Every structure is written in C-alpha cells, then in structure tokens.
Amino acid sequence: MPAGLPERLPILIAPSPLLKARARAVAAGDEATVRDLLPRMFATMYDAPGIGLAAPQVGTGLRVAVVDLMPDNVQTPLTLINPEIVALSEEMATREEGCLSLPNMYAEVTRPARAKVRFLDETGARREIEADGLLAACLQHELDHLDGVLFVDHLSSLKRNMILRRLAKETRQKQDAPARRFA
C-alpha cells in the first residue's frame, strides 16, 4: 500500500456475533481510538465500495459510523459519533438495501422516509442533520448497526433466512475453492 494512505480494515461478514452486539457510546478516553479509526473506516468504505460503514462492521464496538453518498462523484464524508435518531417521519419509503457485511445480498426494506439525527462530528461539535431519500435510509441502516441490527432483520423470517443461507453457501464456496497456483 502506498505511504500515507490509511490501512484498510477487514469487514466482518454475517453471522459474526460482533455484528449483533450493541455498541457502547464513545467516552472521554476514546479520542485516540476514534481519531485512528475514522480515516481507516473511510478508506475501507471507499475501497469496498460502499456508502456507509459502522464501527461494529470492522470489529470495533463503539458508536461510530461514516457515510458518504458521493453526490456527483465528489467525496462528502459525514462522521457520526454517538449518533441518535431524534425524529422519524410517519411516511414510509421502500428501497433496495445491501450491506458490506452481507456481500452481494440485497432486499427491499421499508423504513421511515425522513430522519433527523443528532451526533458529534470528528471535531467533537454537536450536529444535527435532517435527511430524506437515500441519505435517510443510509443513516437509519448505519445506526441500526450500532444497535446490533442488520437490514435483513427488517425482513420477514422467510426472506431473512433465504438471504442468510445464500450468504453462508457463497462463503463456503469461496473457502472451498482451490487456491490458484502460479508457476
């Protein structure tokens, strides 16, 4: 890896138990950990590629998430430390979701169409964002991760089990594939 680029982090794949654990709030003694974690999380998310990543997905049980929808292919990173949803619309919206921890698995998920989230940014400043559309869904998806909830948990048990079985099968096939040898 070229010098100066943050190290990528391994993304946990379901059914890792760490993905189902509730993350703890970032506290006063966590500044150095978060300062080191943020650039690595962004690098991992961009490399994947994805539009959101929560700390539990990279094995860190802190309430930290990063988001970037990359409007017009321009990076617009959003750092969320100790985020909390303060309001959700009654109006619902359904859109296809995927997850870096469930690679190549997608399903239609219904969530509130708008969300208002309060959080600390990377400088420690208190912020609030009101979102709709893809950003609202992404924020709710990432905050779910902080509570140990995956997008498949919003589906019927039949759909959830189908996706998790398909993921397990693909994971087994990758592990069973013979290593390529180069002479």
Q: So where are the chain's domains?
A: 17-173
Q: Measure the CA angle with vertex 133, ends 138 and 131; round to 5°.
A: 75
2 has pLDDT over 50: no
Residue-wise pLDDT for 54-109, tens only, equals: 999 999 999 999 999 998 889 999 999 999 999 999 999 999 999 999 999 999 99
- pLDDT tier for residue 179 given thresholds of 50, 70 and 90: low
CA neighbor of 25 nearest in space, from 141, 119, 132: 119
The active-site residue out of 7, 84, 142, 170 is 142
Q: Tell the CATH topology of 17-173.
A: Peptide Deformylase (3.90.45)
Rounded to whole angstroms, the Cα distance separating 54 from 19 reads 10
Map tokens 């959003």 to a residue.
78
Map tokens 């961009």 to a residue.
46
> Is pLDDT larger for residue 23 or for residue 173?
23
Check if 142 is active-site: yes
